Amino acid sequence: MSSPFTTLLDDARAAGRGVGAFNVVLLEHAEAIVAGAAGAGLPVVLQISENCVTYHRGLVPITVAAQAVARAADVEVLVHLDHVKDLDLVATGIELGVDSIMFDGSELPYEENLAATRDVARRCHDAGIGVEAELGEVGGKDGVHVPGARTDPADAAEFVAATGVDALAVAVGTSHAMRTRVASADRELIRELARSVPVPLVLHGSSGLSDAELRGAVGAGMTKVNVATHLNGLFTGALRQVLTAQPDVTDPRRYVSAGRAAVEEETIRLLRVLAEGTA
């Protein structure tokens, strides 16, 4: 059974476009990202990570809020669970009816990752939910950047065939949590992966890539492009400017709204960049 997630990514892959997938930390992130998508006239994926779930002390509040914001949008907005390792969260996500789940078994031994991912894919597909997985762990999640990590195309094709996932996150030289946009993606490897893997490819660690690198990665074959740290930096910077200029302000709306506006503006710009992907 096809899901909105697979339809969105398959259509974008066929057209050579990138789909922005941006992380939600606070409700204001969801509002900003959706407003930006509407401003760009392009679809977007709202991502809720396991770390975000821990911060909010549960999956339900932030996910239900994001779903409400998504449903009210004038453009297509999907709600996606990102880097989920806890199978209980997978079950709760299915109950809530999220659009897709990224099960992260990348730290498991290969056979265990394969078996667990295959089981998650079966459960999600039975509920009409798309599934993303990761092969070749992308560095940076613990503050250590590993740009040398690479996913083997033959291994990736075998993994997709064995698990039945709808999208695959691959390691192509990027790293999570980068605060500067100085990284580069291995475009030749992306091309090899795109030729070998029958499902859309996902680029994690995209905050470290410049606009030119983002366009090049999409042009080479990346479809879903995840961004978190870059937007969080803009959000925090905008708050800091208000608090520095107005040290006596106490109403959170006065400064949080500045962060929301900064993320909205950058969402518009990034979505347009990804839609222009060129080899």
Closest CA to 46 of 61, 64, 62, 24: 24
Q: How far apart are CA 54 and CA 99, in angstroms?
A: 20
Q: Would the CA dihedral through 19, 175, 122, 84 be positive or negative?
A: negative
By the 10 Å C-beta count (0-12 exposed, 13-18 middle, 19+ buried), 257 is classed as middle
Q: How far apart are CA 235 and CA 90, in angstroms?
A: 29
Q: Is 248 a catalytic residue?
A: no
Q: For tokens 């930006």, name the residue.
A: 36
Do 166 and 117 form a contact (C-beta atoms < 8 A)? no
CA distances from 173 to 19, 199, 218 (A): 19, 20, 14
A 10 A CB-CB count for 230 gives: 20
Spot the catalytic one: 10, 11, 82, 142: 82
β strands within 208-264, DSSP E: 222-227
Residues carrying an active site annotation: 82
